[in-house]
Amino acid sequence: QDTGNNQVQFMHLDLASLRSVRAFASTFLRQEPQLHLLINNAGVSAGGTTEDGFSLPFQVNHLGHFLLTQLLLERLRSCAPSRVVIVASSAHCAGRLRPESLGRPPSGLFSAFQDYCDSKLANVLHARELATREQGTQVTCYAVHPGFVNTSLFRHAPLWLKPLLLPLAWLLFLDASEGARVVLDCATQDGLEPLSGRYFTDCGPRLPWPAGRDDRLARALWEGSERLVAL
């Protein structure tokens, strides 16, 4: 309604269910011959466990997107040049991924927040490893920190924390349309191909924190993710 574009099509996808991801990919590939851009944007910060037995933030923010990207990758290749944009976060700086315990919720008082940070580090490393593996295919990939955006991401925050978060969000955070700008820049800007795998903010390409530049960890995450989603 806002854009007047009648070519928008809704297709149901629940990243908290690997069964739903597979069903969506199957339906999409059957109905749509073209795919030039995939933006992995969904995110949650709540605790909990999915129907597949993984922590909710790690599956929604990383594993579901990982499986979706893999299932659509051949179509992206056949339609190249094409791009994958993964919405990450500066919260990756606090991520602590351990390949032997991927998908399990961390322990501790702030386990949901740690889980969120771990999933954002996974986003940065996913983009890095995907770019490495897709060299020469004209499929490029970018991880993006959109800034602090006032969305419903933290709607599941503890009740005691909400009185602190909500005024802060209204006063200091970007609105959703502003937060989308850097994501859309990575999706549409000409000449970004040599920067595939890089981490972007509203100031352009930036070095992620050291864990986000760890190629061995990126490979271990990839291989562990393949096992978890049964690829």
Distance CA 4, CA 118 (A): 39
Does residue 10 sit within a domain? no
Does residue 64 sit within a domain? yes
Question: CA dihedral in degrees (212, 97, 181, 191; nearest 10)?
Answer: 40
Q: What is the token pair recorded at 133? A: 């593996």
Does residue 212 sit within a domain? yes
Does residue 41 sit within a domain? yes
Interior/surface letters 50-85, b for 16+ CB within 10 angstroms, e for the rest: bebebbbbbbbbbbbbbbbbbbbbebbeeeeebbbb
73-86 mean pLDDT = 97
Report the CATH number that the domain containing residue 177 is assigned in CATH: 3.40.50.720
Predicted confidence at residue 113, as pLDDT, reads: 82
Q: Give 4-44 pLDDT, tens digit per residue.
A: 999 888 999 999 999 999 999 999 999 999 999 999 998 88
CB 15 within 8 A of CB 21: yes
Decide if 142 is catalytic: no
CB 56 within 8 A of CB 16: yes
Distance CA 202, CA 152 (A): 21
173-189 mean pLDDT = 81
50-70 mean pLDDT = 96
Does residue 225 sit within a domain? yes
Helix H or strand E encompassing 190: none
Predicted confidence at residue 159, as pLDDT, reads: 55
CB 26 within 8 A of CB 18: no
Question: CA dihedral in degrees (192, 194, 198, 201; nearest 10)?
Answer: -30
User: What's the mean pLDDT when you consider all of the chain?
Assistant: 88
- Range with the poorest average pLDDT among 82-96, 110-124, 143-157: 143-157
Q: Give 84-99 pLDDT, tens digit per residue.
A: 999 998 889 889 999 9
Query: What is the count of structural domains for the chain?
Result: 1
Does residue 22 sit within a domain? no
Q: What is the token pair recorded at 168? A: 């802060």
Instruction: Look up the domain containing 111 and give its range.
Output: 34-229
Distance CA 201, CA 146 (A): 6
Does residue 24 sit within a domain? no
- 116, 154, 199, 222: the catalytic one is 116
Predicted confidence at residue 141, as pLDDT, reads: 98
Region class of 34: left (phi > 0), else alpha (psi between -120 and 50), else beta: beta
Predicted confidence at residue 197, as pLDDT, reads: 96
Q: Where are the alpha helices (DSSP H) in 4-54?
A: 18-31
Does residue 11 sit within a domain? no
